[in-house]
């Protein structure tokens, strides 16, 4: 604490103003002045003398960062995914870590559907074609896509976002399959969804959408072997984390038409995207904006700020990931 008793916090990049305003009421706030992701060294320098850290999914918060400032008491990330944070190291040092679950569920599920339709009906390709002046009138075989209604939807990871995504299929009368460690009674009851093995899901689904977290068991869950199981008419959507798919295998699958197409919001080595992927017409690429609406990003900012403030008061933040810190 400084002499006024105010907690000092570092925010690694400007987030929506309502969140910063909330933080400023309770804390002395230092914000990265440049609108770019910081390097690890810059983050270490930014948290010097700080009690709290508000970080982003682009920030590498590893053991070195966590232990670089002995005053550090709380880490709040402005994201639901936290694969960029060494939570084990934070727990070992008694530092609570929080995320922003719930508020971005519908928004991310909506983006997955937007990608699904964009690929199925070749919306981006059609837009470029039309703008380029190639449209010479209706034609029987012009830019044909895939139907969505009555098809089979396969969901990899039926947590909050996977569930919201599945429920939105109701209007399209789809058969819904899912993989998850646990049974999902909501989608089983609401949609008649069936829990199956990954192989069965990949072989049977017309649309496969990934909603699993990036953990060691989901890294490269979809490789060449899995892509080859999919139907040549199938479409793969990923709004979760890039490294869940082996990107070079996906490029081969798209080039050789093992599958019809893909819609990606996330990449294996963000922000780098292989040039080859960018040349393919059967993939729609989005710049990791799953939660990117004005309303949702504002809610995420307020949630991250609230978590940080509560954690700095020595209390359990509402969205604490490592609750065991408070059980010691
Ligand atoms: C998250 O919060 O993890 C999302 O990827 C942000 O879009």
| Per-residue pLDDT tens digits for 232-280 | 999 999 999 999 999 999 999 999 999 999 999 999 999 999 999 999 9
Residue 36 per-residue DSSP state: S
**Fold topology of 2-103+293-326:** Rossmann fold (3.40.50)
Give residue 328's pLDDT: 61
Active site residue 131: no
Distance from Cα 112 to the centre of ligand 1, integer Å: 13
Report whether residue 114 contacts ligand 1, using a CB cutoff of 6 Å: no
pLDDT at position 79: 97
For residue 156, what are the β-bridge partners? 179, 210
Q: Decide: 291 in ligand 1 pocket, CB within 6 A.
A: yes
The answer to whether the CB of 79 is under 6 A from ligand 1 is yes
- Residue listed under structure tokens 């400023």: 24
* Whether the Cβ atoms of residue 251 and residue 236 lie closer than 8 Å to each other: no
In CATH, 105-285 is 3.40.50.300: no
Q: Assess whether 270 carries a catalytic annotation.
A: yes
Are both 2-103+293-326 and 105-285 of the same fold? Answer: yes
The tens place of each residue's pLDDT in the chain, 328 residues long, gives: 444 469 999 999 999 999 999 999 999 999 999 999 999 999 999 999 999 999 999 999 999 999 999 999 999 999 999 999 999 999 999 999 999 999 999 999 999 999 999 999 999 999 999 999 999 999 999 999 999 999 999 999 999 999 999 999 999 999 999 999 999 999 999 999 999 999 999 999 999 999 999 999 999 999 999 999 999 999 999 999 999 999 999 999 999 999 999 999 999 999 999 999 999 999 999 999 999 999 999 999 999 999 999 999 999 999 999 999 998 6
Half-sphere exposure in the Cβ direction for 320 (13 Å, CA): 22
Structure confidence at residue 293 (pLDDT): 98
Active site residue 288: yes
DSSP string, 98-130: E---STTHHHHHHHHHHHHHHHHTTHHHHHHHH
**CA-based max dimension of the chain:** 75
Question: What residue segments make up the domains of the chain, in order of their start?
Answer: 2-103+293-326, 105-285
Say yes or no: CB of residue 301 within 6 Å of ligand 1.
no
Which of 55, 76, 80 most suits a substitution to test ligand 1, by most atoms within 8 Å of the C-beta? 80
For the beta carbon of residue 36, count every other beta carbon within 10 angstroms: 9
Find the catalytic residue in 226, 241, 247, 306: 241
Contacts 24+ apart (CB under 8 A), 117-121: 117/148, 118/263, 118/284, 119/235, 119/237, 119/260, 119/261, 119/262, 119/263, 119/282, 119/283, 119/284, 120/145, 120/146, 120/147, 120/148, 120/207, 120/235, 120/261, 121/145, 121/146
- Compute the Cα dihedral for 103, 316, 311, 239 and give only its sign: negative
CA distance 98 to 119: 35
Cis-peptide into 271, omega within 30 deg: yes
């Amino acid at each position: 604490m400084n002499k006024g008793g105010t907690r000092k916090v570092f925010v690694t990049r400007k987030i929506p103003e309502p969140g910063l305003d909330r933080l400023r009421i309770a804390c002395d706030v230092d914000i990265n002045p440049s609108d770019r992701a910081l390097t690890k060294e810059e983050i270490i320098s930014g948290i010097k003398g700080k009690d709290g850290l508000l970080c982003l999914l682009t920030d590498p918060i590893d053991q070195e960062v966590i232990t670089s400032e002995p005053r550090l008491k709380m880490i709040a990330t402005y994201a639901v995914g936290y694969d960029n944070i060494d939570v084990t190291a934070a727990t070992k040092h008694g530092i609570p870590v929080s995320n922003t679950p719930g508020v971005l569920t519908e928004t991310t599920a909506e983006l997955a559907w937007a990608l699904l339709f964009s690929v199925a009906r070749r919306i981006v390709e059609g837009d470029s074609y039309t703008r380029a002046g190639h449209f010479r009138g209706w034609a029987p075989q012009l830019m044909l896509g895939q139907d969505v209604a009555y098809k089979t939807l396969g969901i990899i990871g039926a947590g909050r976002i996977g569930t919201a995504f599945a429920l939105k299929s109701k209007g399209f009368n789809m058969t819904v399959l899912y993989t998850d460690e646990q049974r999902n009674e909501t989608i089983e009851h609401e949609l008649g969804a069936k829990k199956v093995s990954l192989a069965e899901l990949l072989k049977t689904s017309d649309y496969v959408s990934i909603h699993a977290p990036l953990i060691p068991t989901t890294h490269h869950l979809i490789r060449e072997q899995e892509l080859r199981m999919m139907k040549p008419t199938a479409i793969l959507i990923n709004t979760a984390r890039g490294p869940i798919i082996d990107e070079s295998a996906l490029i081969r699958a798209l080039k050789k038409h093992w599958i019809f197409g893909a819609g990606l919001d996330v990449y294996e080595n963000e922000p780098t995207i292989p040039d080859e992927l960018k040349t393919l017409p059967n993939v729609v690429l989005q710049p990791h904006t799953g939660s990117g609406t004005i309303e949702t990003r504002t809610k995420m900012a307020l949630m991250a700020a609230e978590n940080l403030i509560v954690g700095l008061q020595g209390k359990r933040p509402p969205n604490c990931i490592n609750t065991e810190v408070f059980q010691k």
